[in-house]
Amino acid sequence: MKNFIIFGAPGAGKGTQAKLLANEFGLVHLSSGEILRQEIKNGELGETVKKYLAAGRLVPGKLIDAIMEKEIKRHKKAKGLIFDGFPRTISQAKYLDHLLKIEGRPIAAVLKIRITEEEGIKRILERAKTSGRSDDNKVTIKNRFKIYHQEMHPILDYYREQKKLIIIDGHGELNEIFQNLKEKIKKITSV
């Protein structure tokens, strides 16, 4: 098996799709946001980190790099990994490449789910009714979109140049998008 990254603006459904794909292909789903929220809940990270998340700002690179390094090492025996929410900057992308090089398992493909900002905002406001996430509110969503677009362009270029980028339309039904992603992964893993 191979390692993958899933990208998508807030509300694109990347977390849901990553979980489905992990289940389908026996991959370990590594969501940086979920890991951070869990560590905050367990009291492993301080108030400062909590504030970054509540504001929709990126936590310091060194912290997230260290957290993901620990997770990659912890799942050494996994069939493959699917990264969700990481990397979010070029520096993180380079660090990830470096870590996976040590493991001898580079990223096989980067899957990007594309949706419009209007659709993303609509979905997050819907999710906010039940998610309990401090960053699922209108002001923070705008900020998360702004950061996403600023940070994503260079990263997408980085993977496009490596010929690893696959773009999927995220507007259809959840299952339709899943089937589409599944086909793409099957193609990659069969070569």
The nearest distance, CB 92 to ligand AMP, in angstroms, is: 6
Residues in contact with ligand AMP by the rule CB under 6 A: 32-33, 36, 52-53, 56-59, 64, 85-86, 88, 92, 135, 144
Q: Which is nearer to ligand AMP, 56 or 120 (CB)?
A: 56
| Helix 61-74 vs helix 90-103: crossing angle, to nearest 10 | 20
Minimum distance from CB of 111 to ligand AMP (Å)? 15
* Number of residue whose CB is nearest ligand AMP: 33
Q: Contact 56/144 with Cβ under 8 angstroms?
A: yes
CB atoms within 10 A of CB 177: 22
Minimum separation from the CB atom of position 37 to ligand AMP (A): 7
The smaller minimum CB distance to ligand AMP, of residues 125 and 188, is found at: 125
Closer residue to ligand AMP, CB minimum distance, 83 or 178 = 83
Contact of 87 with 30, CB cutoff 8 Å: no
> Which alpha helices (DSSP H) does the chain contain, by range?
14-25, 32-41, 47-55, 61-74, 90-103, 117-131, 138-161, 174-189
Query: Closer CB to ligand AMP, residue 52 or residue 188?
Result: 52
Q: How far apart are CA 105 and CA 26, in angstroms?
A: 16
